[in-house]
């Protein structure tokens, strides 16, 4: 029987993980914006950006102890979603909206927006 999925023990651990993911997004923002610019339609932008975001974030999730492979990101984001229930966890929800917007809508947040969110996670 496989072990139970990893979860975050507390808000501090979830904030740290979320900060790592947002920092990764920020570090790759130039490449993501360039990829998004290659698409004319929203669907084309998503097709260009989503694989880049998923690859970068999946690697970080695996480094945090989530299983390797394509499910890493989905399991990790599910664990972060659960962490929203911790007192003060609303900020995790805001950050998840930003991450999912980048992945699912091709909306690469500005560096200012990412910096502001990282500040909220401190």
Domain boundaries, the chain: 11-120
Neighbours of 30 (CB within 10 A): 11
If residue 60 lies in a helix (H) or strand (E), which one and from where to where?
Answer: helix 42-63
Q: Give the tens place of pLDDT for each residue, 43-62.
A: 998 899 999 999 999 999 99
What is the residue-averaged pLDDT of the chain? 91
Rounded to an integer, what distance in angstroms lies between the CA atom of residue 91 and that of residue 108? 19
DSSP letter for 68, please: S
Q: How far is CA 11 from the centre of its chain?
A: 16
How far apart, in whole angstroms, are the C-alpha atoms of residue 5 and residue 72? Answer: 10
State residue 70's pLDDT score. Answer: 75
């Amino acid at each position: 029987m496989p072990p139970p999925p990893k979860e975050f023990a507390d808000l501090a651990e979830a904030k740290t993980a979320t900060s790592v993911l947002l920092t990764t997004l920020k570090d790759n923002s130039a490449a993501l914006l360039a990829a998004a610019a290659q698409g004319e339609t929203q669907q084309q932008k998503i097709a260009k950006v989503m694989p880049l975001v998923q690859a970068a974030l999946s690697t970080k999730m695996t480094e945090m102890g989530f299983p390797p492979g394509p499910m890493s990101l989905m399991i990790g984001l599910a664990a972060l979603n659960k962490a929203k229930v911790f007192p003060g966890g609303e900020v995790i929800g805001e950050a998840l909206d930003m991450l999912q917007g980048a992945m699912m809508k091709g909306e690469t947040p500005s560096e200012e927006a990412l910096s502001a969110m990282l500040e909220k996670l401190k």
